[in-house]
């Protein structure tokens, strides 16, 4: 994949204290505003290579950013800033920075949840939803949030040293099974991450959940959900509940370790099918 732009834009966002996010816009066509996963970043997604951003920018104006505490963006220690509804407000601030009045919203894991909350906040601005690997939600979420709190406490007690050690692991390079590639590239980039932001993001995720089913039933825009089997953090059960709750949703399931490499093309097909008559706004 091509590298990120040499100079990323600096986008001011609100919260308990003002911060700045790193982002960029590229391409032409209908807007696609995208957010990465918890502990991820734009650089992580590019290193994994699962989205085919060059192909996407050929048919859409892609807007990407590193969420607060991730990648090249600023970190604060206020865990409430990292709750998903608050991050959804930041997502709209990124949209406003780039003049994206109407846009497709999308994201992976935490980014998927952020996009859902953003759609609930301003549904009239959303052309469609591209939801990748939805995180655990609702009744099943208690166990996951407990793990987030434990991980945050451990990193605090150890001064973030375990994160730094990740950068020294002798991980094999080269493209392989998708999940192994994802874990490898995430580990490498976490070795360079700001532990303060990671701790706050974990605690913020522990305070968060997906929008309620009643909220989701009001989202009538076209939606595609991409999920994989046998992942306890992104269970297929949550994806199935989402597709049963959202009025206009379809579900695509990855059945083997290489299926996610094809998700970029499937998302491009979704945008083509749902962007007739739209333009960058």
> Predicted confidence band at 166 (pLDDT cuts at 50, 70, 90)?
low
**pLDDT digit string (tens) for 63-107?**
999 999 999 999 888 899 999 999 999 999 999 999 999 999 999
Q: Judge whether 30 lies within some domain.
A: yes
Least confident interval from 140-144, 189-193, 195-199, 213-217: 189-193
* Domain span at 241: 9-273
Q: Judge whether 279 lies within some domain.
A: no
Q: Judge whether 281 lies within some domain.
A: no
How many separate domains does the chain show? 1
Q: Judge whether 140 lies within some domain.
A: yes
**pLDDT digit string (tens) for 139-156?**
989 889 999 999 889 888
Report the distance separating Cα 170 and Cα 180, nearest Å.
14
Query: The pTM is what?
Result: 0.91
Burial 238-251 (b: 16+ CB within 10 A, else e): bbebbbebbeebeb
Q: Judge whether 3 lies within some domain.
A: no
Q: Judge whether 280 lies within some domain.
A: no
Report the distance separating Cα 19 and Cα 70, nearest Å.
12
pLDDT at 3: 58
> Predicted confidence band at 277 (pLDDT cuts at 50, 70, 90)?
low
The CATH code of the domain that includes 18 is 3.40.50.1820
Q: Judge whether 1 lies within some domain.
A: no
Average of per-residue pLDDT values in the chain: 88
Q: Judge whether 2 lies within some domain.
A: no
> Predicted confidence band at 172 (pLDDT cuts at 50, 70, 90)?
low
């Amino acid at each position: 994949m091509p590298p990120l732009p040499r100079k990323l834009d600096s986008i001011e966002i609100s919260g308990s204290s003002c911060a700045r996010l790193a982002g960029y816009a590229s391409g032409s066509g209908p807007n696609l505003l995208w957010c990465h996963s918890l502990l991820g970043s734009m650089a992580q997604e590019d290193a994994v290579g699962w989205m085919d951003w060059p192909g996407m920018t050929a048919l859409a104006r892609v807007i990407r950013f590193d969420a607060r505490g991730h990648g090249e963006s600023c970190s604060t220690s206020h865990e409430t800033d990292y709750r998903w509804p608050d991050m959804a407000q930041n997502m709209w601030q990124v949209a406003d920075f780039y003049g994206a009045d109407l846009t497709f919203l999308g994201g992976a894991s935490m980014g998927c949840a952020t996009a859902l909350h953003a759609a609930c906040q301003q549904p009239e601005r959303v052309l469609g939803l591209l939801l990748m690997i939805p995180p655990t939600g609702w009744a099943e979420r208690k166990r996951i949030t407990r793990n987030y709190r434990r991980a945050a406490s451990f990193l605090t007690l150890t001064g973030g040293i375990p994160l730094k050690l990740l950068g020294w692991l002798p991980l094999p390079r080269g493209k392989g099974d998708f999940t192994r590639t994802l874990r490898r590239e995430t580990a490498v980039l976490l070795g360079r991450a700001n532990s303060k932001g990671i701790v706050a993001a974990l605690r913020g995720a522990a305070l968060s959940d997906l929008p309620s089913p009643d909220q989701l039933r009001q989202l009538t825009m076209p939606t595609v959900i991409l999920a994989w089997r046998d992942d306890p953090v992104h269970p297929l059960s949550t994806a199935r509940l989402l597709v049963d709750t959202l009025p206009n949703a379809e579900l695509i399931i990855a059945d083997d370790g290489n299926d996610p490499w094809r998700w970029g093309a499937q998302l491009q097909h979704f945008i083509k099918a749902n962007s007739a008559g739209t333009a960058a706004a």
